[in-house]
Amino acid sequence: MERTKENKKENILNVAERIFSELGYEGTSTRYLASEAGVNMAMLNYYFGSKNGVLKAVLERKIKGMRQMLLVVKEQEISSWQKLTTAFEIYVNRLTLNDSFYRIIHREISLVSRTELSDFVVENVLANIGILREIIEEGIQNKSFKAVDVEMTISSMLGTIYYILNSKFVSSELLNLDLLDPEVMEKQLRPRIKNYMKENLEAFLLNKEELV
């Protein structure tokens, strides 16, 4: 019985993730969510309480899923540089794979007025960012990284991705790429961001002996 309940919840979340990604939060109704998930409104409300509750559950799954991937990288017995570049690749891959969904996350963390949902998102996003901080601090401690401003370094890394994904029309003109084309996002933009940031981090962060 519990297994069946979990399967139904997972199905609703899978459907909701797709619909929120396609239509955005405002463009999605609970009635449409229920219809697409093959459940009635009563069941949707029973599991999640409201559309906001569905979104919160989807966000939690997405953000915590990334956290697990980052934690695996952090605990590997590899260099701090390998950890950092691998962790950044995870961010780039996840955000560009479903950028419209991550724009919802960015919207919540950009709100001027705080809500229960925005507080929840901020808390969980900061937990993920905290893993990046620990990796950079580890590199500073073992002397493979310079003693940089850790928080500003992270802001620069993530800010590059968020700016491009949240201003597609401007970025398309700036980069001379059609960022509305999923194939361009995957084959051109994603590798370009990774290469650019790796080159910048090498110059800014790595101690010279690490480059030898």
For residues 65 and 45, membership in a common domain is answered with: no
pTM of the model: 0.83
CATH of the domain at 4: 1.10.10.60
For residues 113 and 173, membership in a common domain is answered with: yes
**pLDDT tens digit string along 2-60?**
556 678 888 999 999 888 877 877 888 999 999 999 999 999 999 999 888 998 898 88
CATH of the domain at 184: 1.10.357.10
For residues 15 and 106, membership in a common domain is answered with: no
Burial class (CB within 10 angstroms; exposed 0-12, middle 13-18, buried 19+) of 59: buried
Mean pLDDT in residue range 186-210: 90
- What is 120-183 written as a DSSP string? HHHHHHHHHHHHHHHHHHHHHHTTSB----HHHHHHHHHHHHHHHHH-HHHHHHHHTS-TTSHH
Any domain includes 184:
yes
Indicate whether 108 pLDDT > 80.
no
In which residue are the tokens 């960015």 written?
Answer: 106
Domain count, the chain: 2
For residues 106 and 145, membership in a common domain is answered with: yes
Indicate whether 209 pLDDT > 70.
no
For residues 63 and 45, membership in a common domain is answered with: no
Q: CB-hemisphere CA count at 13 Å for 183?
A: 0
**pLDDT tens digit string along 134-191?**
999 999 999 999 999 999 999 999 999 888 988 889 999 999 999 889 899 889 999 9
For residues 30 and 88, membership in a common domain is answered with: no
Any domain includes 131:
yes
For residues 65 and 165, membership in a common domain is answered with: yes
Determine the structural domain holding residue 12 and report its residue range.
Answer: 1-49
For residues 70 and 108, membership in a common domain is answered with: yes
Burial class (CB within 10 angstroms; exposed 0-12, middle 13-18, buried 19+) of 175: middle
Any domain includes 187:
yes
For residues 45 and 98, membership in a common domain is answered with: no
Indicate whether 1 pLDDT > 60.
no
